[in-house]
Amino acid sequence: MSDDHAYQAISAYDKRLTQTPNIDRIAKEGMLFTNACVTNSICAPSRAVILTGKHSHLNGKIDNYFPFDTTNITFPQILQKNGYQTAMFGKLHFGNNPKGFDEFQILPDQGDYYNPDFITKKEGKKKLIGYVTDLITDITLNWLKNERDDEKPFFLAYLHKAPHREWLPAERHFKEYLKKTFPEPTTLFDNYEGRGRASKEAEMNLLTHMNWAGDSKIFPENMDKLGIKESHAYDKRNYNYTVGRMNAEQRKVWDEHYGKMNEEFIKRYPSMTEKDKMKWRYQRYMQDYLGSIAAVDEGVGQVLDFLKKNNLEENTIVVYTSDQGFYLGEHGWFDKRFIFDESFKTPLLVKWPNVIKAGSKNTQMVQNLDFAQTFLEAAGVTPPSDMQGESLIPIFKGQGKNFRDAAYYHYYEYPSVHMVKRHYGIVTEKYKLVHFYYDVDEWELYDRVNDKNEMKNVYNDPKYAKVKEELHKKLVALRVKYKDSETLDKMYIEKYDELVKKGKIFR
């Protein structure tokens, strides 16, 4: 699993931006899901849903601020109790001592791209020199080669930090990607006409909300020289911290190549229009974001090669996914959080030789909620009755005709970073009904077939009156099915407000 990896940035889904030949191998040898989605598009809550097989309102990890309730039983704990050797390497995002793992080496919180610290099960905290993606891959391969018990089945969580913000590619990749240009999304200059306050008030715009130093890598001294103000109080600070972790050798190469980019920008900036700046920032974003993914794809290839060379391929299920989707300039945005497709949908590619037909595709509404159920059933273990997902194994076998007709979504972290309003909704293959609440009371309806970019809210369009009525009924039924309610909404708002008063919410 990677972090914030947009499906648009995997060539098995879309070849316009980049090539990911190794991740694509999983789709070629297995199944590509085109409507895989999350229940809550934000990092730590998404991971909690995957581990517990329960929606956020039940597992308690509704946002990045609320602590994870460690009394939750996770699927790795169950696998471990049933004879599986278990290991986790890379980014968990919450908790320093993940339960159910025989071995782990995880990044503290978000982790760092260069010379990162790791929390280990046996050695405590340690710092490793190198690039985080390569280090996670090396640790993973070492476990597979030298620490895995050949007599036991295993579950391995190979979890990348990349391509999470702030994007720092490996040296071999930034040298290449700084020279590239990428096609712009058609909605880069979206003005949100015809949509509600949620889209208009979100703080995710590439031009106005992305950090100049931390994200676009304009050196802080050059910002001062050009009179560019920080987008946030942590703009320059984040750059100085992330790049400051480099050793002298790493920093020299970084400064040389990003210095040239800075020099070109200084020449252009005085004559740039706002449109020019937006276009420039999009290219800068893509260079670093996609450059960060390049190392992930290489690492995936190394792991796949190991499985093949060591006769593990035939009896191993390989899943590639992310904790949610991500905006790559669509609607002028970066980040995630919304129920809209770029954020709500997540990459999901699965191969299982002799079970999943190679090169197959699935369009059904599957969710990260389903992973725990699926993994346990595949291992021959009966899932706990309080898990809320559905096993994907019938779909793997081509028998999942009536799998799920609608997915339920609920986002909570507001008011906070990026200011995406609280909302819940129902999504089918054809439609999407959303309720934004807390400081607004607005409904939006989108036709996913005829309005793929979700530009037109048709909630009040008479042509969709019947659709709207049916979706409202289904949404009420889903909230009952998954045990969500207005009572829980109010409870979580009250708890969130308490954290705000205590100064624990970072905006």
450-488 pLDDT tens trace: 999 999 999 999 999 999 999 999 999 999 999 999 999
For strand 348-351 and strand 442-447, is the pairing parallel, antiparallel, or unpaired? unpaired
Q: Hey, what amino acid is at 330?
A: E
Kindly indicate the confidence band of residue 505, based on its pLDDT and cuts at 50, 70 and 90: confident
- pLDDT tens profile 7-16: 999 999 999 9
**Tokens representing residue 300 in the block:** 């995936």
Whether residue 507 has pLDDT greater than 70: no
User: Dmax of the chain from CA atoms?
Assistant: 66
Beta strands in 74-181 (DSSP E): 85-90, 103-106, 117-120, 124-127, 154-159
Task: Answer whether 65's CB lies under 8 Å from 43's CB.
Answer: no
Quote the Cα angle for 232-234-235, to 5°: 70
Cα torsion angle, 253, 255, 259, 261, sign? positive
Q: Which helix (H) or strand (E) holds 351?
A: strand 348-351
Kindly indicate the confidence band of residue 434, based on its pLDDT and cuts at 50, 70 and 90: very high
Whether residue 501 has pLDDT greater than 90: no
Kindly indicate the confidence band of residue 241, based on its pLDDT and cuts at 50, 70 and 90: very high
Q: Give the DSSP per-residue string, 182-211.
A: -PPPTTTT---TTS-HHHHH-S-BTTTTS-
Residue 386 burial by CB count (10 A; 0-12/13-18/19+): exposed, middle or buried? exposed
133-152: average pLDDT: 98
pTM for this predicted structure: 0.97
For 31, phi and psi rounded to 5 degrees?
A: -125, 140
pLDDT at residue 435 in the model: 98
pLDDT at residue 376 in the model: 98
Mean pLDDT value across the chain:
97
Best CA proximity match to 242, nearest among 162, 167, 163, 170? 167
Q: Compute the distance between CA of residue 123 and CA of residue 272 in angstroms, rounded to an integer.
A: 52
3-state secondary structure (DSSP) of residue 409: strand
233-240: long-range contacts (C-beta < 8 A, 24 or more apart)?
235/211, 238/166, 238/211, 238/213, 238/214, 239/166, 239/211, 239/213, 239/214, 240/213
**Tokens representing residue 112 in the block:** 């760092």
For strand 103-106 and strand 85-90, is the pairing parallel, antiparallel, or unpaired? parallel
Best CA proximity match to 98, nearest among 112, 86, 116? 86
Cα torsion angle, 146, 296, 370, 403, sign? negative
Quote the Cα angle for 414-420-423, to 5°: 80
Q: Compute the distance between CA of residue 371 and CA of residue 384 in angstroms, rounded to an integer.
A: 13
Whether residue 18 has pLDDT greater than 60: yes
Q: Compute the distance between CA of residue 279 and CA of residue 261 in angstroms, rounded to an integer.
A: 15
Task: Answer whether 364's CB lies under 8 Å from 382's CB.
Answer: no
* 118: Cα separation from own chain's centroid: 21
Kindly indicate the confidence band of residue 225, based on its pLDDT and cuts at 50, 70 and 90: very high
- pLDDT tens profile 420-431: 999 999 999 999
Best CA proximity match to 113, nearest among 157, 174, 164, 47? 164
Q: Compute the distance between CA of residue 133 and CA of residue 117 in angstroms, rounded to an integer.
A: 13
- pLDDT tens profile 39-80: 999 999 999 999 999 999 999 999 999 889 999 999 999 999
366-391: average pLDDT: 97
Kindly indicate the confidence band of residue 506, based on its pLDDT and cuts at 50, 70 and 90: low
Residue 121 burial by CB count (10 A; 0-12/13-18/19+): exposed, middle or buried? middle
pLDDT at residue 502 in the model: 86
**Above pLDDT 70, what percent of the chain?**
100
pLDDT at residue 155 in the model: 98
User: Which domains does the chain show, CATH number per domain?
Assistant: 171-284 (no CATH), 410-501 (3.30.1120.10)
